[in-house]
Structures are given as C-alpha cells and as structure tokens.
Amino acid sequence: MRSRIYFWVVILVLSACNPFSNAAITPASTPAPTKFAVDDLAIYRLALTSTAQNDLALIDRPTRYNLTLKYDDKNATLSGTQQVIYLNHESVPLNEIYFRLFANYPDSGGKIEVTQVQVNGESAAPVLEAKNTALRVPLKTPLAPDASTSIHLEFSVTIPRGKSGHYNDFVATESVVTLPTVYPLIPAHDSQGWHIELPPAYGDLVYADVSFYTVTITVPSNMVVIASGSTIGLHDNNDGTSTWTLAGAPMRDFDINLTSQLNKVSTVIGETTINSYSEPKDTEAGKQALQVASDAFKVFVKRFGPYPYRELDVVETPTSAGGIEYPGIVVVGSSLYNDSRSQQYFEFATAHEVSHQWWYAMVGNDQVNYPWVDEALAQYSTLLYVEDLRGTSAANAVLRGNFQGLYNRARNQGRDAAVNQPVGAFDENDYGAIVYGKGPLFFDAIRKKMGDDKFFKLLSTYFERYRYKITFPEDVLKTAEEINGASLQTEYDQWINSPKK
C-alpha cells in the first residue's frame, strides 16, 4: 500500500510482448442483482477461482462489509452507508470498536466525515482520535468473546481534485478517480489492543484482518468501476447513472478506481483475468504492464502458491509512489508509463506490486510496525521474477544494484540500522535503504545457507501456513528454521536485528 518502490537502476531487457486481447472497457449491462443474506457465501464465490472457493471456509466468521456508495462527479464527493458485522475473536471483552478513516490522513487534501453511527440499531457517540484518522465507537455493553455486533455508519468523502498530498494516491483527475480504502475500515486488534498508529506518509497504512465485502456503487453512466473483487452486477438507471455491484473475499481492504478515459487490454491465465488499464497516450506501456504482470503472476504462482481471485487489475494512476498494492489490484504511477528513462523502474515496480498479492493481500502482516515482513520479501520476489525470466546473471545484477547498492550507500554514510523496526523509526531515505535494500539481503543469505530446494519449500510453506492470516517476524524465522532443520539465527541477527541502537 502507499509505499514508494525504491529502485537502483539496473538494465533489464524486457521479454517480447505476447498478443493480448483488446477488450471493451464497459461490460454488458445486466439486471439488478438479487438481494442476498449477509451470511450467504454464494455471492463471494463468484469472485474466486473454483479451487479457491473452498478457502472461504478457512476464515472463522470474518468481518463482513456491505457498502452502498454514490459518486458525484460534479462535486468530487462520495456518499456512503455501511453495514458491518463484527465478531470478537479476542479472549477479552471489547469496550469499543475502532474504524480507520484514512481519507483524513494529514495533508491528503481530502476528508471523510462520519455523520451517523448505530450499534445494533441504537445511536452511538463516536470519538475521533489519531489526528481524525481513527473513529472510536463506544459500546454500551462490552462485546464478549465469540459474540458479534452489527454497526451501521453513514459518511461522506470529499476527494481532492487534480493533486493531493500523500503520494497523490487519493485524487480526482480528468482521467481517473482513485479511492484507496476511503470507507471506515476496522483495524487489527491483537494482544497489544487496537492498532490506530499513524505512520509517516512514506509507510503503508493498513493493518487489518481479511474480511468479506459486498459493494454497490452508483456512478455516471460513462464511468467504469475498477476495484478489488469482481463485478457481479451492472444496472443502468434512468437518471444517467449506472449501479455496479461487486464482491470480494477474503480481502484486507477494498480499493476503487473510477474512469471514463482509460483503455483496457486483458489476458487470461487459468481462471484469472489480468487487466491492464492505461491512458490512451500510454497504450503501448499499458500492454507492457500487462506483459510484466502476467509473467510475474506465473512466476509467483509457481514459486509460492495459487492466486485465488478471478481478476487482477493493473491501473495507471497519478500516484507518485511508483506503485501501490491492494487486494486484487495494483496501481502504477503515470510517470513510469510515459518516461522512457524509467522503463527498468516501470518493470520492477509492476512486478513488485504483483508480488504483494501474496505478501500482504494473502499473507498479512503489521505493515506499520514490521514493514519488512512484506516489503523485503516482495523485493526478493521481484528478483525471483527476473531470475526465472532472464537467468542468474540478470538476478545477480538486481541483487547488486537494487539491494546491495541501495544499502551500501546508507551504510557507507554511517546510516546502517536494524531492519526490524517500525516505519516511524526511519526517515524516508533510510526506510528505502534499510527495509527495501538491506531487508531482501536476509532472504538471499538464508537461500545460500539452505540451498534452493529448501528455500523454495520455505516460501511455499510460509505462504500456505499463513494464507489469510497475520504473520510476525518470528514466524518468518520459525518457518525458515523448521524447513532448514538447523538454526538461522546468525543470519537473522546479521541482516534483520543488527546493528542495535
């Protein structure tokens, strides 16, 4: 999510493009979808491959979001209602439930205002915290372990026009409207309590359990909805608008983009359709993004495990972050599409973000306090993409340039630091050098120690064991040592825990 991809330029030769289908961007209109019960799993199966539909049973009574949204293009606003069914999976009663309001992130240029909250049909008096990015909803009666509650919220979102702060990833432009997790999202609750920390702008914001989503959004009829999950219904209204219904599960958050301008090219791998959306002037770069995403998809399925969703979207947006990941969707900055000097970065950023479908979307982690757990592995996964496509020498060039080069510059300037720290422990330059540069060197070190057979078994085992769960640094080491059959503490201390401050 919202993280800059740190890249040390190394020349990579793109593989030849395969032919892809050019698809009309607007799907055929269908009748309004039939109403469904909130506990009906059938709606979510529509967004999953046939083999992944059984994954729904792996999630023990997840949080369920039912969102109804309407976008006003004239005023760049989004109005919404949200029904959430939340079950207390903790061993202690909960006196309150928190919602994150990321549209209120400082200097974002936009805002979200929650105008009504009801708990089990009764009005509640919520309190804003964490610089208005967290909404605490007190419960009249503590929510006992294994008990559930229903929360109704009404809200409005003001979207900044043209340009916003925070990497320009929440914005309305002529070509696209980007809505990254703009609805109230329940954060993770663990042994430390509710997580409402606010990291620096260069860090990722979301730390959440997987949930099940149904989303209905009404937009002008000339607009297309590109979002997490799959479109399961599209209905044209009499007032010049269309209503889209989407479903997605299991997902940690839900991203939405709206456009009347972007073109689409697609390809199908197995039961998953990969779509690439780009501006008309960037058609060739859009095809290249599809090629990279498709190649990376194949590598990661082979190396890690199956991708569960029926769609994977790659979307050109105005973000200055290079790339940002969401469940079932990645966005890549326009500056990389139309700058020939950035082609190596373009490829690396796209493949990196696709890898986050495995490391973040499926295998979750605390991105605020332990960002290396997904970012360092996503970096090394991108090296594996290069290795599988172009061989060992190309992968070694990535290792030397993207990782060692980035890290060595910081170390030579006396800025070495432990990888295993929160985002807020680093300034922006050091965050890139240590988490994105030094972090993946740990995975390279244990690969050399374990050998390839055990190392790739580690990756597939780690993925299968923690799929749809939350993983912590000790889980990475524990799984690696289990597969290795011997301690890897020396490598862990050298690359992750050292130097101590």
Q: Are 376 and 435 in contact (CB under 8 A)?
A: yes
296 shares a domain with 343: yes
d(CA 343, CA 350): 11
Asked if the structure places residue 7 within a domain, the reply is no
pLDDT tens string 216-237? 999 999 999 999 999 999 999 9
- Which residues constitute the domain of residue 381? 370-497
Tokens of 454: 């055990």
pLDDT tens string 37-86? 556 799 999 999 999 999 999 999 999 999 999 999 999 999 999 999 99
Asked if the structure places residue 73 within a domain, the reply is yes
pLDDT over threshold 50, residue 1: no
d(CA 394, CA 116): 55
pLDDT band at 249 (very low <50, low <70, confident <90, very high): very high
d(CA 224, CA 96): 37
pLDDT tens string 376-385? 999 999 999 9
Tokens 């790659």 map to which residue?
A: 314
d(CA 29, CA 131): 42
Nearest to 212 by CA among 1, 42, 465, 466: 42
400 shares a domain with 296: no
pLDDT over threshold 80, residue 195: yes
d(CA 300, CA 350): 13
56 shares a domain with 150: yes
Asked if the structure places residue 17 within a domain, the reply is no
Asked if the structure places residue 256 within a domain, the reply is yes
pLDDT band at 166 (very low <50, low <70, confident <90, very high): low
Position 30 scores a pLDDT of: 39
Query: The whole model's pTM is what?
Result: 0.93
CA distances from 293 to 236, 275, 297, 356 (A): 32, 9, 6, 12
pLDDT over threshold 80, residue 20: no
Position 165 scores a pLDDT of: 65
194 shares a domain with 101: yes
What is the C-alpha end-to-end distance of the chain, expressed in Å?
Answer: 28
H or E stretch at 46: none
Position 270 scores a pLDDT of: 98
Averaged confidence pLDDT in the chain: 92
313 shares a domain with 182: yes
Asked if the structure places residue 217 within a domain, the reply is yes
pLDDT tens string 275-325? 999 999 999 999 999 999 999 999 999 999 999 999 999 999 999 888 999
pLDDT band at 164 (very low <50, low <70, confident <90, very high): low
pLDDT tens string 336-361? 998 777 788 999 999 999 999 999 99
Position 416 scores a pLDDT of: 97
CATH of the domain at 167: 2.60.40.1730
Asked if the structure places residue 22 within a domain, the reply is no
Asked if the structure places residue 408 within a domain, the reply is yes
Q: Are 418 and 501 in contact (CB under 8 A)?
A: yes
Q: What value does the mean pLDDT take over residues 19-42?
A: 50
Position 278 scores a pLDDT of: 98
pLDDT tens string 391-406? 999 999 999 999 999 9
pLDDT tens string 92-119? 999 999 999 999 999 889 999 999 999 9
Nearest to 276 by CA among 218, 236, 315: 315
401 shares a domain with 344: no
Tokens 């590109």 map to which residue?
A: 226
Asked if the structure places residue 15 within a domain, the reply is no
d(CA 323, CA 330): 7
250 shares a domain with 216: yes
Mark which of 355, 390, 420 sits at the end of a domain. Answer: 355
399 shares a domain with 311: no
Tokens of 51: 């083999």
172 shares a domain with 83: yes
Mark which of 288, 321, 355 sits at the end of a domain. Answer: 355
Position 132 scores a pLDDT of: 98
Q: Residues 6 or more apart from 90 whose CB is under 8 A from it?
A: 145, 189
187 shares a domain with 47: yes
Mark which of 355, 378, 406 sits at the end of a domain. Answer: 355
374 shares a domain with 332: no
Chain mean position to CA 270: 22
Q: Are 189 and 90 in contact (CB under 8 A)?
A: yes
CATH of the domain at 471: 1.10.390.10
Q: Residues 6 or more apart from 376 whose CB is under 8 A from it?
A: 419, 435, 436, 439, 440, 442, 443
Considering its fold, how many domains does the chain have in total? 2
pLDDT band at 168 (very low <50, low <70, confident <90, very high): confident
Position 163 scores a pLDDT of: 74
181 shares a domain with 119: yes
Position 343 scores a pLDDT of: 84
